[in-house]
Amino acid sequence: MALILAMGISRHKLGVPGEKELLGKGVSYCVDCDAHFFKGETVAVVGNESAAVSGALTMLFYANEVHLLCDALQVSEALSYQVRESDVHVHEGSKVVKIEGKNRVEGLTLDNGERLKLSGVFIELGAKGAIELAATLGVILDSEKMQYIVTDKQQQTNIPGIYAAGDICGPPWQMAKAVGEGCVAGLAAAKYVKAHRKT
């Protein structure tokens, strides 16, 4: 018997008014997926860690103006230096209290009363991964964040016969990646089952 884990992840939410209502209308949880929709526009990336900072730097290639909103940066010195020396407007110590807009994102309201006029907001607060499931099965997670399942090139975990594919294995959050990994995992799992039927 073989098992393939492909249940994805759940992104952490801001939990502010406008977030749910404007999802897909300027609110996104994936810079890599949606950056090209905001060419020449003003956007914000929300988050403290490397995904948010890297996302803000990536958006410089697409957007006209990029804001990074964070409590306090929790990244390496090199990444912190890179973003502070870039054209990204860093708003450290700022929190989003509302995402404004009717049919699409029009701006953000911050906890200090400031309002940023923009058309897109990328929420990069991490994701709920496979911690509980992995602990139950004994599957190894990544050493850096302990959120994603580690696999080899055949999508096999550290436990023979258990495979994983898609977002549960970590970024980038791309459908093509998930489909490809699923295909590899399916073929490898079938081969594993066939081999063990002979024994």
Specify the number of domains making up the chain: 2
Do 115 and 41 belong to one domain?
yes
Q: Domain check: are 186 and 151 in the same one?
A: yes
- Domain ranges, residue 102: 10-123
pLDDT higher at 168 or 88: 88
- pTM higher than the cut 0.75: no
For residue range 70-110, list pLDDT tens digits in order: 998 888 899 999 999 999 999 999 999 999 999 999 999 99
Q: What is the CATH number of the domain that holds 160?
A: 3.50.50.60
Q: List beta partners, residue 163.
A: 4, 156
93, 84 Cβ separation under 8 angstroms = no
Per the structure block, which two tokens stand in for 145? 């964040």
Same domain, 87 and 15: yes
Residues 117, 97: one domain? yes
In a domain, 118, yes or no: yes
Contact predicate 155/181, CB 8 Å: yes
Residue at which a domain ends, from 98, 123, 148: 123
